[in-house]
Each structure stands twice: as C-alpha cells, then as structure tokens.
Amino acid sequence: MIEASPLLLAASAAKNKVTVAGGTAPTAVEDESKRRVLGPTRLRKYLPASAYPSLQTQSEDTIPNIPLVEELRRMLDNTRMELAKEYDCGPFQIASNKVLDQLANVRPDSVAALEAISDLPVERRQRFGQRFIDCIKEFVTTHQLDTNVSNSSTHRGRRIFLTKVMHNSIRDERKGVESGDGECYETQ
C-alpha cells in the first residue's frame, strides 16, 4: 500500500488546490472538476416546437397523409430489395435512401417525371424507374393521393422561415440578449 505524501495531504486539506514548485515561483493548480464552465445562471429555457404556434404551419389535410407516405416509403424499400435480388447487387446500388424518400414525397407518375428526383442518375432512371413508378401508381390509386407533388415549392418557405428563426435565436443566445417574446428566462 502506498502512503500519502505530505504534498498530497496538503492538497486535500486545501480543497483540491495543489501548489506545484517548479522554475522561479510556485504555481497554484485548481482541480478542473471544481471549476464551473458555464456560469451560475441559465440564459435560455428551450421549449418544444409545439409551444410556438407560428411553427404549426401544416394544414389539416396533410397531417393524415404522413403515415401514408411512410407506408409508401416501406413499399418502395421492398421494391428496391426485390430489384437488388433480381440484379444480384446491393440495394444502395439501385437507389439510395434519399432517393426513396424523395420518391415517397413527390410521387412521380411517369418515368419522365423522375427527373424531379435529384441523385437518381439517368441510367438508373431508365433501368429501374418503371418498377418504382408502378409501385407508386398502385399505392396512389389505392389511397387517393396526389402525384407529382412539388417538393421544393411546398417546403422552401418553411425552410427559409426556420433558418431565420434559428439564426436569430442563436444570435440572441450568443449575445445573451433577451429576445422579447418570452423565450429567454433567467434562472438561478
């Protein structure tokens, strides 16, 4: 068993302050776990997005479609797996997850409409596109959904608005300024 040296005993008595002798003058070293990094006050209390009515911009008719889009996404994933088995390759070589998400959201009704899907090369569009289109058409007719939904026009305004809101809140947090609409709370 190792016995404590007088230096260690003095350090524990001085509440984790150790004096290191070296060079010309002794230097005090404070234990890092005792130091408070962020300060004693909390500048902002974060609330969920549901607390802000301005962020609730989805219309009532799109809310029931969300589970349907997820179901279509699963069907497209199954189609991709079938194609991968048929062509003896990996599913990612048929279409990426990002492409499947875009297919489920846009729901193109023809091979020509697949041009709206980014990250889907022309050769894959021509080779596998018709199978995906058939899957989408079958699902859309069963559930009476719209096809060729413009992905950029429906989400562009929301993206810009959310980016501006996020930018202002980050700026206010950085400066420690209260934003004025009840978002910033000072607590002890």
Q: Where are the domains positioned within the chain?
A: 65-143
Which pLDDT tens digit goes with each residue over 130-144?
999 999 999 999 998
Residue 160 has pLDDT above 90, yes or no: no
State yes or no: pLDDT of 183 exceeds 70. Answer: no
Is 65-143 a CATH 3.40.50.720 domain? no
What is the predicted pLDDT for the residue at 178?
44
88 pLDDT more than 80: yes
Instruction: Kindly state the percentage of the chain with pLDDT values over 70.
Output: 54
**Res 41 pLDDT > 80:** no
Cα distances from 137 to residues 52, 64, 106, 140, 159, in angstroms, run 37, 19, 12, 5, 29
Asked if residues 137 and 109 have their Cβ atoms less than 8 Å apart, the reply is yes
- The answer, yes or no, to whether residue 146 has pLDDT greater than 60, is yes
Reply yes or no on whether the pLDDT at 163 is more than 80: no
